[in-house]
Amino acid sequence: MQRFCLLALFVFFSISAPAQWVNYQMPGTPRLKNGKPNLTAPAPKALDGKPDLSGVWMHEKTTVEDVKRIFGTRFDGEISGSIPGMEVGTQHKYFFDIFADFKPGEATLTPEAAELRRKRAAQRDPTQVCKEPVGLPFAALASEPIKIVQSPKVMIVLYEVDTLHRQIFTDGRTLPKEFGLPAYLGYSAGHWEKDVFVVESGGFNDRGVMDWSGHFHSEDLRLTERYHRRDFGHLDVEMKFDDPKTFARPIPMKIGFELLADDDIFEMFCENEKDAPHLMKD
């Protein structure tokens, strides 16, 4: 089993190259005397006067020591088998388990969802991780950054993981009561509440994996996000996952992101992974 977990980690964290343009400096970036980006400078404004959320962002990382402290021995296989440059410690705690803040023994899933989870866990094959669809918040909290592109009528979120993307419409539309075609990342509409960008999402299918532990949701999931760019280099994001069919209570998250001012994201296709057939022969 440890080999399976290590293999799956390798698949996810070794496929995309480091997201780095050599010797490139992003125009318009405030800088310190040493040339490094001034991440505490005031947040930039868009043409409409709202904060501009555009940029390449990396979530705050949970260290190996904190992974051990929070989860005990649950992820020892991944920690002991880490690969230099792509090791445990480059993800967020919610990447491992969306219930990281809950106390042991606290009710997290409905009885029906808990039973379905047991059945899915028995059938889950970590060596087939490329066939397992990545959902939210998984896509934003792995070892790769995200990129936000802001425009007047739509906000685009690009995920380096699996080269995924979301459209968050800001043209006045609201979410319908019913969705004709459920989607892995759902459908999103956003609006501003002063300097906070609020996103409401629905229309999810029930097949996206939310974290490394394999948690899932139903098609009734509703996600609320609040984005606040408090200065040039820091983005505070609050998420609330509400799904009464699956979760015993709404799941809140607070995640800090830091701007990678002179960086960018690259494409990533998990099906390029060729190591599994060779490693499984051992």
**Torsion angles phi and psi, residue 99, rounded to 5:** -100, 25
36 within some domain: no
pLDDT at 8: 45
pLDDT at 104: 84
Those residues of the chain that have pLDDT short of 50 are 1-19, 83-85, 272, 275-276, 278-282
pLDDT in tens, 220-274: 999 999 999 999 999 999 999 999 999 999 999 999 999 999 999 998 877 645 5
pLDDT at 121: 85
280 within some domain: no
66 within some domain: yes
pLDDT at 181: 94
71 within some domain: yes
Extract the tokens encoding 205. 């299918």
pTM: 0.87
130 within some domain: yes
26 within some domain: no
SS3 per-residue string spanning 235-263: EEEEEEEECCCCECCCEEEEEEEEECCCE
Name the residue with tokens 């936000």.
148
210 within some domain: yes
Q: What domain range includes position 83?
A: 2-21+42-275
Domain count, the chain: 1
pLDDT at 20: 58
84 within some domain: yes
pLDDT at 23: 75
d(CA 195, CA 226): 10
